[in-house]
């Protein structure tokens, strides 16, 4: 029972007790009053009748009977009796005084009158002729007393109803600050730091609200301090302070994570060099040079924002690099020329006085040597630098892989959707201790004409041809269909990475709701996640998607945490369930204490917001041991298992 209900119950009980007590007193006092009146009337009638009978001649019994009848017919008396000294008694016994019952029978049984027999002697002179006995009739008293009680009951009922209504209003007003405090506490659990502006006047409630506001401000301050400290650590360790993009270390570690992990990759690595930066600095000064480099960093971020999972970095004073996922050499060449033209018409236009050259290499393999990849890109850069004006060259190495035009890619992707050519693989995510299975990461593969294409190879074209929403919806539907055929494991979620473009598609939201509504009991095993680097443009749409799917039990996660540029405050704003720290922070973790401290800071921030923290991409035993020490809740990688092709095999897999 709530406190409000207890207050209502106790107050109502008190009002009822008061009203019932007052009613009982009214009935008791009314009964005593009417009883006194009835007995008094009987004594008066007996005296009057005795006096009248004393005037009747001796032996005239008829006259005596008439006197008794006259008194009895008034209906006020139930029993009149004359007992002469000599002779038989004359009497009239009771009858109903009223045509209808004066009161309910239960009331008359409850309230009884103690009526006394009034007696008077009939005398003539000094001679005693007899004795008159009279008893009053209680019907009129019952009628009047019941009428009075009924009026009291009606009045009490109205008083009770009005009192309860006023009590409800009063308690609602009094408990309003408490309700707001409850909402405030629940909002804290949802990572929303609400401060109450309406301070109640009641001293006790005022102190409670002010204390709650102070706690919220303290929690907000702690979170902001932790977030700022972690962001500063990330910036100092992995970002270039002038341009805002990755520094040499951050860029090389991200590149190494992509090229060295035992998963297929497909993308173009580009090195860029400013040819006359020293001359520009001598002519315009250090501040102008710094401003130009800062603008270049912003321009690279803007250009690469259209390509999910792309990243850029400053490798030295005038050397920059960036990596863009793509499908084949044709796509890589097109991207290289597109970026070149965007830079030429933007911050590096000829009128700015800076020349630049681009050299790129297309990388598509299970594993590539980062040093060799950089060497090939550098060779292409040297070829481009043979031209005095800005130029972009792609390394002319072995082509390999699938080589289709953009039109052919579009046809392949559309036919793949029509024929359900997508297949799924499942990679286990285990708990920190390695004893419990937490999730399966779902990876998509495209089977086409005997080839199996990984998402790294075909997804850039999916993005380019604006098919992301259709592909994501198809993957989700296929996962749900698979779970219908093979029931999911208890307390295990199947994580599907969706494209930022899909999040912005309202029709995709409706398609997901339709898919989940067909099997709501299975929807609670689904988790959707998006990369952190894409949050800046999709945050509001992502919140709407998460809230629309919450009734189905679908949860939301953020992938590749640590690679974006947004402040970590998004963890507090978005309705998240978990975060997954990018694998580039896990690779070589045992030899990098600053990355360990960064992950520990992320874990502390997330745990303060009740978020689960997962690590990925771990392949070495030493890295697993150190990652466990950071306090993450779970981890995945080839150290534990490669992606499993069949869901039946995934369900039979057990942590080692």
pLDDT in tens, 466-504: 999 999 999 999 999 999 999 999 999 999 999 999 999
Are 403 and 327 in contact, with CB atoms under 8 Å apart? no
Angle (CA) 412 560 394, round 5°: 50
Classify residue 55 by burial, with Cβ atoms within 10 Å: 0-12, 13-18, 19+: exposed
Q: In this predicted structure, what is the pLDDT of residue 191?
A: 63
Write down the residue that tokens 């030899």 correspond to: 591
Nearest to 117 by CA among 58, 42, 228, 218: 42
CA distances from 582 to 257, 326, 628 (A): 9, 20, 15
Q: In this predicted structure, what is the pLDDT of residue 218?
A: 81
Q: With bands split at pLDDT 50, 70 and 90, how would you rate the model's confidence at 354?
A: confident
Q: In this predicted structure, what is the pLDDT of residue 98?
A: 60
* Torsion sign (Cα): 593, 308, 528, 650: negative
**Long-range contacts, stretch 153-157, CB < 8 angstroms, 24+ apart:** 153/23, 156/19, 156/22, 156/23
Q: In this predicted structure, what is the pLDDT of residue 400?
A: 52
Q: Which spans in 54-190 are helix H?
A: 61-73, 105-110, 139-189
pLDDT in tens, 69-127: 777 777 788 888 888 887 777 776 666 556 577 888 888 888 888 888 888 888 877 78
pLDDT in tens, 140-168: 888 888 888 888 888 888 888 888 888 88
Q: Is residue 358 over pLDDT 70?
A: yes
Q: Is residue 270 over pLDDT 90?
A: yes
More confident residue, 53 or 339: 339
Q: With bands split at pLDDT 50, 70 and 90, how would you rate the model's confidence at 580?
A: very high
Nearest to 93 by CA among 74, 114, 77, 116: 77
Q: In this predicted structure, what is the pLDDT of residue 579?
A: 95
Q: In this predicted structure, what is the pLDDT of residue 140?
A: 82
Q: In this predicted structure, what is the pLDDT of residue 92?
A: 67
- Please give the average per-residue pLDDT across 535-560, as a whole number: 92
Q: In this predicted structure, what is the pLDDT of residue 448?
A: 81
Nearest to 293 by CA among 339, 370, 252, 240: 240
Q: Is residue 193 over pLDDT 80?
A: no
What is the C-alpha end-to-end distance of the chain, expressed in Å?
Answer: 48
- Please give the average per-residue pLDDT across 270-288, as a whole number: 89
Q: In this predicted structure, what is the pLDDT of residue 93?
A: 65
Are 143 and 103 in contact, with CB atoms under 8 Å apart? yes
List of residues 6+ apart from 444 with CB closer than 8 A: 422, 423, 424, 425, 455, 471, 475
> Which stretches does DSSP call E strand in 419-509?
422-431, 437-448, 451-454, 493-497
More confident residue, 367 or 505: 505
Pairing mode, strands 493-497 and 451-454: unpaired
Q: Where in the chain is the domain with CATH 3.20.20.450?
A: 406-651
Q: Which of 103-117, 435-449, 529-543 has the lowest mean pLDDT?
A: 103-117
Q: In this predicted structure, what is the pLDDT of residue 176?
A: 77
Q: In this predicted structure, what is the pLDDT of residue 97?
A: 58
In whole angstroms, give the CA distance from residue 125 to residue 416.
Answer: 134
List of residues 6+ apart from 85 with CB closer than 8 A: 128, 129, 130
pLDDT above 90 coverage of the chain, percent: 35
Helical packing angle, 621-629 and 593-608, nearest 10°: 40
Identify the top-confidence range among 76-80, 351-355, 370-374, 453-457.
Answer: 370-374
Q: In this predicted structure, what is the pLDDT of residue 526?
A: 96
The CATH label, of 2.60.120.560, 3.40.47.10, 3.30.465.10, 3.30.70.270, for the domain at 239-394 is 3.30.70.270
Kindly state the tokens that stand for 366.
């299970």
- Please give the average per-residue pLDDT across 222-235, as a whole number: 80
- Domain 406-651 fold is TIM Barrel (3.20.20)
Q: Where in the chain is the domain with CATH 3.30.70.270?
A: 239-394
Q: In this predicted structure, what is the pLDDT of residue 582?
A: 92
The mean pLDDT value of the chain amounts to 86
Q: With bands split at pLDDT 50, 70 and 90, how would you rate the model's confidence at 178?
A: confident
Q: With bands split at pLDDT 50, 70 and 90, how would you rate the model's confidence at 401?
A: low
Q: Is residue 572 over pLDDT 80?
A: yes
Kindly state the tokens that stand for 379.
């060779």
Three-class SS state of 368: coil
pLDDT in tens, 614-650: 999 998 899 999 999 999 999 999 999 989 999 999 8
In whole angstroms, give the CA distance from residue 371 to residue 368.
Answer: 9
pLDDT in tens, 308-345: 889 999 998 899 999 999 988 888 999 999 999 999 88
In whole angstroms, give the CA distance from residue 178 to residue 516.
Answer: 37
Q: In this predicted structure, what is the pLDDT of residue 573?
A: 85
Nearest to 402 by CA among 264, 525, 536: 264
Q: With bands split at pLDDT 50, 70 and 90, how would you rate the model's confidence at 51?
A: confident
Classify residue 62 by burial, with Cβ atoms within 10 Å: 0-12, 13-18, 19+: exposed
In whole angstroms, give the CA distance from residue 396 to residue 336.
Answer: 14
pTM metric for this prediction: 0.72
């Amino acid at each position: 029972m709530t406190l409000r209900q207890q207050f209502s119950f106790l107050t109502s009980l008190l009002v009822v007790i008061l009203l019932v007590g007052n009613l009982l007193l009214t009935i008791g006092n009314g009964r005593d009053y009417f009883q006194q009146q009835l007995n008094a009337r009987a004594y008066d009638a007996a005296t009057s009748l005795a006096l009248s009978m004393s005037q009747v001649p001796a032996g005239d019994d008829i006259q005596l009977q008439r006197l008794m009848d006259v008194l009895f017919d008034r209906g006020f008396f139930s029993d009149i009796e004359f007992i002469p000294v000599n002779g038989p008694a004359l009497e009239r016994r009771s009858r109903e005084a009223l045509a209808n019952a004066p009161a309910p029978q239960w009331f008359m049984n409850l309230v009884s009158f103690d009526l006394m027999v009034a007696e008077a002697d009939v005398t003539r002179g000094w001679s005693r002729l007899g004795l008159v006995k009279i008893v009053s009739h209680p019907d009129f008293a019952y009628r009047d007393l019941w009428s009075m009680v009924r009026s009291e009951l009606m009045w009490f009922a109205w008083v009770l109803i009005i009192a309860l209504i006023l009590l409800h209003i009063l308690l609602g007003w009094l408990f309003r600050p408490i309700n707001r405090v409850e909402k405030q506490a629940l909002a804290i659990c949802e990572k929303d730091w609400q401060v109450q502006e309406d301070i109640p006047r009641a001293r006790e409630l005022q102190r409670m609200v002010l204390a709650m506001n102070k706690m919220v401000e303290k929690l907000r301050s702690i979170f902001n301090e932790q977030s700022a400290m972690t962001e500063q650590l990330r910036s100092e360790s992995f970002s270039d302070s002038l341009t805002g993009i990755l520094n040499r270390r951050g860029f090389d570690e991200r590149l190494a994570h992509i090229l060295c992990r035992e998963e297929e990759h497909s993308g173009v690595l580009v090195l860029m060099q400013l040819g006359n930066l020293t001359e520009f600095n001598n002519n315009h000064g250090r501040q102008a040079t710094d401003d130009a480099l800062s603008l270049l960093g912003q321009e690279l971020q803007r250009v690469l924002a259209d390509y999910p999972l792309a990243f850029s970095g400053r490798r030295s004073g005038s050397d920059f690099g960036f990596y863009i996922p793509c499908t084949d050499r044709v796509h890589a060449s097109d991207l290289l020329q597109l970026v070149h033209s965007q830079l030429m018409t933007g911050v590096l236009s000829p009128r700015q006085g800076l020349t630049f050259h681009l050299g790129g290499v297309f990388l598509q393999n299970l594993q590539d040597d980062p040093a060799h990849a950089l060497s090939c890109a550098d060779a292409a850069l040297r070829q481009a630098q043979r031209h005095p004006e800005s130029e972009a060259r792609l390394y002319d190495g072995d082509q390999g892989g699938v080589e289709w035009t953009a039109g052919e890619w579009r046809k392949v992707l559309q036919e793949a959707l029509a024929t359900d050519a997508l297949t799924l693989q499942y990679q286990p995510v285990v708990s920190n201790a390695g004893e419990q299975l937490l999730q399966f990461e779902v990876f998509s593969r495209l089977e086409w004409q005997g080839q199996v294409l990984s998402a790294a190879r075909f997804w850039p074209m999916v993005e380019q041809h604006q098919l992301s929403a259709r592909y994501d919806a198809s993957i989700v539907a296929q996962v749900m269909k698979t779970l219908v055929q093979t029931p999911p494991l208890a307390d295990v979620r199947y994580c599907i990475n969706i494209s930022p473009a899909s999040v912005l598609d309202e029709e995709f939201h409706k398609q997901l709701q339709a898919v989940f509504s067909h099997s709501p009991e299975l929807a609670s095993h689904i988790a959707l996640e998006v990369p952190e680097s894409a949050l800046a443009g999709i945050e509001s749409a992502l919140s709407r998607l998460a809230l629309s799917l919450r009734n189905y039990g679908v949860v939301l996660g953020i992938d590749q945490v640590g690679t974006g540029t947004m402040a970590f405050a998004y963890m507090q704003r978005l309705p998240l369930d978990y975060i997954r720290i990018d694998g580039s922070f896990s690779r070589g973790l045992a030899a990098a204490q600053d990355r360990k401290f960064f992950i520990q800071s992320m874990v502390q921030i997330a745990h303060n917001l009740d978020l689960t923290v997962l690590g990925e991409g771990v392949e070495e035993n030493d890295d697993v041991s150190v990652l466990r020490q950071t306090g993450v809740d779970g981890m995945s990688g080839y150290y534990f298992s490669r992606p499993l092709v069949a869901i039946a095999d995934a369900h039979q897999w057990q942590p080692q």
